[in-house]
């Protein structure tokens, strides 16, 4: 038996309610908008703006061409390696010195005063002033053990600037 195409006269689609009633206005609005948009540009620029702007941009480009320094990437890499090597050497030396210092501090004879005496630490008069606290100055033990003349002689001989004596 020969098969026949069934009679289906509608594809089964529908549209939203009132779609065709509003469609006409929607299309006309779109056309109106398009006509407004395709009209003359409402924005203006000063006369000769684009000509002078092009010249300015060209001049700037030439200027920037002169001042720009091109740094090759491979050189930059070399500097990095050199900096890394220098940092490693510096750390190694620091560790060595720190170990040496620790060995010295292990020595019982090593004191703060020996460092000053051997000129490892150079203290100025001002530094001494900061180091002397009120408590130290008021200490009767120190003062009582010293004779006034001895102190005066010491200060006269040792001080570079004797302004302290007049205070």
Partner 1 sequence: MTLIAEQELIHKLKSENYKQGAFRELLKLYQERLYWHIRKIVLNHDDTDDVLQNTFIKIYNNIDGFKEESKLYSWMYRIATNEAITFLNQKAKRNNTTIEKEQEMAINNLESDVYFEGDEIQLKLQKAIATLPEKQQLVFNMKYFDDHTYEELSEILETSVGALKSSYHLAVKKITAYLTED
Which residue, 27 or 151, is less far from partner 1 as judged by CB? 27
Taking the complex as a whole, the smallest distance from the CB of residue 58 to partner 1 amounts, in Å, to 40
Taking the complex as a whole, the smallest distance from the CB of residue 8 to partner 1 amounts, in Å, to 5
Taking the complex as a whole, the smallest distance from the CB of residue 20 to partner 1 amounts, in Å, to 6
Which residue, 30 or 60, is less far from partner 1 as judged by CB? 30
* Structure tokens given for 24: 């006409």
Cβ contacts of 131 within 8 Å, gap of 6 or more: 123
Question: How many beta carbons lie within 10 A of that of residue 115, not counting itself?
Answer: 13
Q: What angle do CA 139, 145, 150 make, to 5 degrees?
A: 115
Residue ranges binding partner 1 (CB under 8 A): 3-6, 8-16, 19-20, 23-24, 26-28, 30-31, 34
Which residue, 22 or 114, is less far from partner 1 as judged by CB? 22
Taking the complex as a whole, the smallest distance from the CB of residue 28 to partner 1 amounts, in Å, to 7
Which residue, 9 or 66, is less far from partner 1 as judged by CB? 9
- Identify the residue whose tokens are 């890499």: 77
- Please state, in angstroms and rounded to a whole number, the distance separating the CA atoms of residues 54 and 45: 14
Taking the complex as a whole, the smallest distance from the CB of residue 35 to partner 1 amounts, in Å, to 10
The CA–CA distances, whole Å, from 75 to 12, 71, 82 equal 74, 7, 11
Question: Which 8-state DSSP code applies to residue 164?
Answer: G
Which residue, 22 or 63, is less far from partner 1 as judged by CB? 22
């Amino acid at each position: 038996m020969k098969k026949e195409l069934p009679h289906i006269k509608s594809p089964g689609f529908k549209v939203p309610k009132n779609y065709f009633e509003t469609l006409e206005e929607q299309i006309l609005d779109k056309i109106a908008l398009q006509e407004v948009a395709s009209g003359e540009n409402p924005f203006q620029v000063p006369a000769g703006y684009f000509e002078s702007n092009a010249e300015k941009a060209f001049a700037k480009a030439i200027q920037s061409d002169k001042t720009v320094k091109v740094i090759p990437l491979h050189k930059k890499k070399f500097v990095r390696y050199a900096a890394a090597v220098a940092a490693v050497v510096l750390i190694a030396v620091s560790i060595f010195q720190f170990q040496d210092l620790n060995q010295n501090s292990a020595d019982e004879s090593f004191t703060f005063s020996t460092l000053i005496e051997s000129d490892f630490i150079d203290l100025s008069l001002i530094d001494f002033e900061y180091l002397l606290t009120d408590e130290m100055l008021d200490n009767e033990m120190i003062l009582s053990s010293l004779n006034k003349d001895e102190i005066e002689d010491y200060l006269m001989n040792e001080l570079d600037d004797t302004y302290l004596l007049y205070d």
